[in-house]
Amino acid sequence: MIGQLLDEQLALQLFGVCAAILVILYWLKPRALRVIVPSLSLWRQHLGKRRNPRWRERLALLLQLIAAALILRALVAPPDQDPAPVVDASTPVVAVVDGSGSMRATGRLQAAADAARALDGGLVLAGEQVRFLATPDGKDLERGLAQLAAGTGQVDLAAAVAAVRAQGHRPVVLSDRDVQGLEAVGPATQDVAVEAITATTGTGLPPKLQVAVRVTHHGQHTRTVNMALSAEDTPLARQRLSLDPGETATARFTLDPQDGRWLSARLVDHTDDLPDNDASFALMPSVREARVELVTPGNRFLAQVLAAMPGVEVRTSGPGAWRLPRVPVDLVIFDRCGPIRPLALPSVYVDPPDGLGPWPVGPPVVDPVFQRWDYSHPILQGVSLRHLTVEEARPLQVDDDTRVLAATAEGPVVAVRDALPRQLVIGFDLTRSDLPLSVAFPQLVYNMLLWARSDAVGADPDRPRTTSEGVPLVGAKGPVVRSLTAKGRWEPPAGLSHLTDLPAGVYEVESQGATTLWALMWDPQEHGRTDAGQGLPSLAQSQTPTEPEAPKAPERPWWLLLALGVLFIEFPVVPR
């Protein structure tokens, strides 16, 4: 037939040609002539009923294009389909056992093994790779059943089923989930899981460690569990949780910075049908003390306030002796001095000499009167300076991207730039004011540290990866993988991108002298499979031979009928 001579690509090309011809004919079609008459009186009653024929012409073009598309669609050959194998009672049966993490629950693999014995055929394990454990004749079935083992993450059951069908066998899937219409096998389970643990650094001095642990009860009946939080092997906290069936609870902790590289949350004094997800792990975020460089000819007020703040490391030096530090610094305070070259660090300038600060300064103003304060900025939050007395101040000539925090009639006196690198200028000498003697001074210095430090406490750790994703090995040469939470050491072969089928935990990848830490958590897709079926009753239905599908009627007449219908509308209805 002619329809079998066209494929989709050729049909699209022909439609493009037809569409171009139809559009060209549309534009070349003669239009109605315009005639000028001396009077419209004779035509007035017909002019009200006259309609613009343009929309009808465009509708006709659209219908022609649709008709061409439908005709070409009817001529497209149906896609080649592999004939479905005829499955009858003589087709060898192969049991495909799900090797995903949820099958590690108590009784799941045993139920799958019992079902495979009832089938008395071949055996395939769908794990990280498809493994053929027994031939369809059933002679080595027991030896194959002894090799059944579940992994830690998800598996590709569809690939295993396709591999069995490619050999002309009939697959029967044994899984704890509904796969291709088959009932799940294995007993129901009682499972409480530590699904995730997250650790972040909070603001403040000293910085705090914010930890959240999510625990879910997958099962029936209310249960009470004890959850313990640890930094490596050091216990940190413990919380008792009472969970209803299906309930998720989040335990939150605020802790001081801890020594250690990772955190773990475990259910203690607890047993259930899936103990592998009773623990979760996360890398410890980088938390360090605030570092401040104080450059001053002498200012005991600033020095004493900074020394009294917890979680702050201060290094004081004179203007001529200060050098750019090599360690990370959160804030540099220049008191009545300034750097020769601009710094790429958050800086505070107190009464800077002209030319050594971010902005030029004007002539001094004696006994200035402050007329405006911007208390909405984080630096002035909780600070009251309405009665501040200053002997002398110098106005600042600020830029457009600068925010003024305090001003007198002569101009801005305190200004801030929040863009990186952050800069704050105080246009008067602290020692010639009553600011250091007020209760607002410690709060002001504290706010300056938080403003400069912002969220730059340390880099956030990489998110925990799932057991299905595994430990990445991209770029590693001759890597060695060690488990830091359980005994284990692996030397993956060259060219392997990921090391999978590892239990949840913390792993160290060593390559060419460099080490990288990775945290693995239990795969979220493997939680909550608690209502598995009974197994054997459903297999009786799956063993019923399936009849070959009747050939489908060709769809070509329907496309041709639609094309004829469109042409019928276009020719007699739409006037030419």
Residues 287 and 295: their CA atoms lie apart, in Å, by: 25
HEC profile for 57-111?
A: HHHHHHHHHHHHHHHHHHHECCCCCCCCCCCCCCCCEEEEEECCHHHHCCCHHHH
Whether the predicted pLDDT of 114 surpasses 60: yes
CATH topology for the 93-188+529-542 domain: Rossmann fold (3.40.50)
| Residue 4: predicted pLDDT | 47
Q: Do the domains 290-453 and 93-188+529-542 match in fold?
A: yes
| Residue 27: predicted pLDDT | 76
Q: And the tokens for 1?
A: 């037939």
Q: What is the pTM of this model?
A: 0.63
Which of 3.40.50.880, 3.40.50.300, 3.90.1150.10, 3.20.20.100 is the CATH number of 290-453? 3.40.50.880
Amino acid at 134: A
Whether the predicted pLDDT of 337 surpasses 80: yes
Task: Return the domain boundaries, the chain.
Answer: 2-79+563-573, 93-188+529-542, 193-283, 290-453, 465-524
Say which residues have a Cβ less than 8 Å from residue 148's Cβ, sequence separation at least 6: 97, 99, 109, 112, 113, 125, 133
Residues 325 and 78: their CA atoms lie apart, in Å, by: 73
Residue 113: in which H helix or E strand, if any? helix 108-119
| pLDDT, tens only, 548-574 | 444 444 455 555 566 566 555 555 544
HEC profile for 436-478?
A: HHCCHHHHHHHHHHHHHHCCCCCCCCCCCEECCCCEECCCCCC
Q: Residue 223's pLDDT band (boundaries 50, 70, 90)?
A: very high
| Residue 548: predicted pLDDT | 42
| Residue 483: predicted pLDDT | 95
| End-to-end CA, the chain | 35
CATH topology for the 193-283 domain: Immunoglobulin-like (2.60.40)
Residues 371 and 387: their CA atoms lie apart, in Å, by: 11
- By CB atoms closer than 10 A (0-12, 13-18, 19+), residue 157 is buried
Q: How many CB atoms lie within 10 A of CB 572?
A: 8
Whether the predicted pLDDT of 295 surpasses 90: yes
